[in-house]
Chains A and B, each alone.
Chain A
Amino acid sequence: MSTHTGGTPEPYGRPGAPPPPPEPPPQPLRESVNYLNVSYGVKSWLLTTDHKRIALLYLASITVMFAIGGVFATLIRLELITPQGDMVQSETYNKLFTMHGVVMVFFFLIPSIPATLGNFLIPIMIGAKDLAFPRINLLSWYIYMLGASFTMYAMVTGGVDTGWTFYVPYSTHYSNTHVIATGLGIFITGFSSILTGLNFIVTTHKMRAPGLTWSRLPLFVWAHYATSLIMILGTPVIAVTILMVALERGLHLGIFDPALGGDPILFQHLFWFYSHPAVYIMILPAMGVISELVQGMSRKRVFGYNFIAVSSLAIAILGFLVWGHHMFVSGQSTYAGLVFSGLSYLVAIPSAIKVFNWTATLYKASISLDTPMLYAIGFIGLFTIGGLTGLFLAALGLNVHVTDTYFVVAHFHYIMVGGAIMGYLGGLHYWWPKISGRLYPEGWGRVAAIIIFVGFNLTFFPQFILGYLGMPRRYHYYPEEFQILHVMSSAGASILAVGYLLPLAYLAWSMRYGRRAGPNPWDARGLEWEIASPPPTENFLVQPVVTDKTYEYGAEEDAAIV
């Protein structure tokens, strides 16, 4: 990279440097003006249009929602320790797993990486001052909070018990819980995700630094471009589907009413047309993060850059064609099942390409096992298992037995928790020095990563066995012979909970007490490592010009010159 930007205090004092002259007392470390200390007060945060501050606003609200979803998960796991379900009533249990699903899917997983790391890094990574529409970016956060408040209202005043999938006719005619309020919450939050996607697309097209061609874009930006494509073209379909459910519940506009002739399978088609691409909204940003982590931590250009970039787009587009594999036994015709099963196998290929490319990047690399790398390796391992179990579910004959059982629960938790959340935490640690200007405690980071990895596997691997034994999903009571596996899973869940609390603690601690971080603590390549940490409000004091390929670490002999 060509330009030097912004003087910042050297993090590691040069041992041999001459001591400063004594007369003028050495100036206290004058802190450069950055986006955090440029202004203070509630108004400066709530009315900010700086993409970095909005990213932190999202980070705070995302963490709160993750905590709420986590509480529900803990209650579910506690409940399932005993076959008779002694802790809560059946109604309450149904509300627990529904709210766990709704909060985790719509309020944590979908916005997590795009809204926090994406908002923070995309403008910096492409050399722009800010996103294309800063005010729309703030509006998107307010819309997210409005949607969240609707759902919290519904949750506090009685919850909803339809499952996060809102299947009709239960959600329209038989559930007497807050379906409309929760639906409205999701409808509104959907627009926050649409606006974020819109912002990313226009920024990536129009605001790249001179010289930054598409083939030089960081893979993080590629992944978010593909994610934004899905956000834009998928979210409206679920918005209109939930609107139709609300219209039917509220105004008797019987679109899905079997008594009139409405078809519940049509609802499932419309619902899964969005909800399958939605799982790619959750995993693609994590893949972008992992591509950055793997190259940053092994200080080597990613193996097969073009293949990884194109496979992100391939996943986004193919992801729209396969939704029927959620409905093989739902009464969908056999022929549609055959078509969707075949297409589902095609969408598995780009994911496989990515995993192989990441692993190949590590060949002959210089790997430092810091926390982000632990998360990256955890991600690759767990995402591989998650993806391969997807092949089980896509096989028609096998799907008949394993769908709607704990096998599915284990599969998507391996992808969501093992993949998306590992990626999110890895990215959070990797860019934490850039976001907060502070270094997190490395030791604690590694301990937390290992605890999360162990806890996760103990929680969800037994569920594969449970699933094949036939334990159905969303069961409050279950036959006695499944109890031992459930107890193992609950034990793992407690370890996982501890693992998740640790980063919350030491990252917050590091905000105030962590050692100051220099512009490039990992000595990685990328525009974000060229500016100070935390970066000034305009990111770049001088417009950077990109001359060479991304992640160009150069060979050993060049190092001498630098």
Chain B
Amino acid sequence: MPEHAQAGHAGAAPAHDHVVPVSTYVMVFLALMVGTGLTVAASYVDLGIWNTPVAMLIAVTKACLVVLFFMHLKYSPKLLWVWVGAAIFFLAQLIVGVGADYLARVFLNLGNPGT
């Protein structure tokens, strides 16, 4: 049964599907490799307390590259952005909420206002 002929609109390649050129993939790949090298190098440089934030910044940029290009989020409907954003927001809320308790209790030793 000649599938393509009868498929009509329903069967045609979904309109929004944007085919990403191979060159973009290779460029992103190289960027990721550079990022990995960078983060390893950065760990040998003594930046004081800034080491971890720098490592996280590099990791976040690499993750964004993968999400936007490899996972096509850049060309996907906005709804997917909402859900990725929601997950990250609640994860941040978890880390900040728990971290705040430890910050107050252990680091700044504000356990009890009186003691």
Contact = CB atoms under 8 A, between A and B. Distances in A.
Given A321-B93, A336-B101, A205 B79 contact: yes
Q: Which of B104, B110, B112 has the most CB of A within 10 A?
A: B104
Interface string A337-360: 001000000000000000000000
B92 to A, nearest CB: 11
A12 to B, nearest CB: 43
A332 interface: yes
A323 B97 contact: yes
Nearest to A340: B97
A205 B83 CA distance: 12
Nearest to A335: B104
A336 B90 contact: no
A324 interface: yes
Interface in B51-79: 79
B88 to A, nearest CB: 10
A336 B93 contact: no
A318 to B, nearest CB: 11
Contact of A269 (B98, B104, B110): B98
User: Interface SS of chain B: helix, strand, loop or mixed?
Assistant: helix
B56 to A, nearest CB: 20
Contacts of A332: 101, 105
A229 B111 CA distance: 34
Interface string A481-524: 00000000000000000000000000000000000000000000
Contact of B104 (A265, A321, A323, A336): A336
Contact of B101 (A229, A233, A333): A333
Given A269-B101, A336-B105, A320 B79 contact: no
Contacts of B105: 331-333, 336
A324 B113 contact: no
Contacts of B98: 266, 269-270, 273
Given A229-B86, A333-B111, A237 B104 contact: no
B87 interface: yes
B20 interface: no
Which of A237, A266, A320, A335 has the most chain B CB within a 10 Å cutoff?
A335
Interface of B: 79, 86-87, 90, 93-94, 97-98, 100-101, 104-105, 110-113
7 contacts: A266-B98, A270-B98, A273-B97, A321-B93, A324-B97, A334-B112, A335-B100
